[in-house]
Amino acid sequence: MIDTAKLAAWMDEQNLPGKGEPLETKFLSGGTQNEIYKLTRGEHVSVIRLPPAAAPANRDDGIMREWRIIEALDGTDVPHTKAIAACSDTSVLGRAFYLMGFVDGWSPMDNKKWKEPFTSDPELRRGLAFQLAEGIALLSKVDWQAKGLQDLGRPDGFHERQVTRWTSFFDRIKGRELDGMDESTAWLNAHKPLDFIPGLMHGDYQFANVMFKEGAPAQLAAIVDWEMGTVGDPKLDLAWMIQGWPEDTSAPEAATSSYVDLSGMPSKQEMVDHYAKVSGRQVDDLDYYLVLAKWKLAIVLEQGFQRAGDDHKLQSFGSIVPQLMRGAADFAASSDYKS
């Protein structure tokens, strides 16, 4: 629970809207890494994001890192939550936190299904996918240097570090062998992108981490959850988004291949073409990024599986991870990408 008296006093010190009025809080969502509450003071509504009390101490640094990204997005074309204020002083609420604008919209994670009119109109639903692709295309165009994010990531040597970093990570959490890992790792070591134009990237870009405005046509309201945000290679966001996209969205399995129904959505190639058009980036080397995305996602999910305990969701990763890693190896073997 949030100490509303302390938070209200801090908000008053910052001269935020609603000064002196009663503060009401409503829990929206949260887990082991972050908690989100809706804040209401009279007519003024905002959202606070902060780590739970039991989260590791470094999550405070993570919160302030997220804040820097959200603040940098102000004035850009990227749909985002408004940056309001941040506090790194843990004496206020016990953890670092930031306030952002409340998004009047909906998430595909709400009951894990589309909201009307997108449920009954497949053509309108296609717009949701194109908006998803457009979100990271716009993100890739942000002038991160002009926004003062030079120290947010380490773009120099980004790709050279990927295999070393994540194989070392896997070795630390390793609890079993993964079929296909040796082949896909060797393929990644033997290949590289055609070019590398550093940019701001989300790190976990998918339908679960965006919100849409109410009504049609589809319009992205905000990209959310910036825990993995960094300066790196934005095309990895593209590959992350489509690595599990069904080849044929008219096939029956498209309805069940993801946590949301992808039937009737644009094809994978249409998504890639739209990203390329909006971002201005070439995508001829996409195979490299798709292998990297599948391989990396398998390792990330393997950590969850190794720490699953009684968590049924994390336990389910036990069968998903081998499929991903084998898929990365098979895709690499079938690719004619030569760089």
Residue 51 near residue 96 (C-beta atoms within 8 A) = yes
Mean pLDDT of 46-72: 95
Cβ atoms of 218 and 118 closer than 8 Å: yes
- Location of structure tokens 């940098």: 72
pLDDT at residue 257, rounded to an integer:
84
Q: Is the pLDDT of residue 31 over 90?
A: no
Whether the model pTM is above 0.75: yes
- How many C-beta atoms surround the C-beta of residue 252 within 10 A? 9
The pLDDT value given to residue 36: 95
Contact yes or no for 249/269 (Cβ under 8 A): no
Beta-strand pair 230-232/210-213 = unpaired
Q: Check residue 228 and give its pLDDT.
A: 95
User: What is the per-residue burial (b if ≥16 Cβ within 10 Å, else e) of 22-59?
Assistant: ebebeeeeeeeebbbbebbbeebebbbbbbeeebeeeb
Q: Which residues contact 306 (CB under 8 A, 6 or more apart)?
A: 173, 174, 175
pLDDT value at 9 more than 90: yes
Indicate the pLDDT class of residue 222, thresholds 50, 70 and 90. very high
pLDDT tens figures, 67-84: 999 999 999 999 999 999
Predicted pLDDT at 256: 86
Mean pLDDT of 55-71: 95
What is the Rg, in whole angstroms, of the alpha carbon atoms belonging to the chain?
Answer: 21
Per-residue pLDDT, averaged over 323-327, amounts to 97
Q: Across the beta sheet with 97-101, what order do the strands follow?
A: 24-30, 35-41, 44-50, 97-101, 83-87
- Are the CB atoms for 93 and 121 separated by under 8 Å? no
Report CA-CA distances (Å) from 108 to 118, 119, 259, 261: 11, 11, 9, 10
pLDDT, one tens digit per residue, over 260-288 is 999 999 999 999 999 999 999 999 999 99
Task: Give the tens place of pLDDT for each residue, 106-125.
Answer: 999 987 889 999 998 989 99
Q: Give mean pLDDT, residues 325-332.
A: 98
* Mean pLDDT across 31-47: 92
Domains of the chain: 4-102 (3.30.200.20), 106-334 (3.90.1200.10)
pLDDT band at 18 (very low <50, low <70, confident <90, very high): very high
Fill in the DSSP letter of residue 81.
Answer: P
Element at 97 (helix H, strand E): strand 97-101
Instruction: Read off the pLDDT band of 197 (50, 70, 90).
Output: very high
Return the top range by mean pLDDT from 18-32, 109-123, 236-250.
236-250
Per residue in 146-171, pLDDT tens?
999 999 999 999 999 999 999 999 99
Judged against a pLDDT cut of 80, whether residue 60 lies above it is answered with yes
Pairing of strands 35-41, 199-201: unpaired
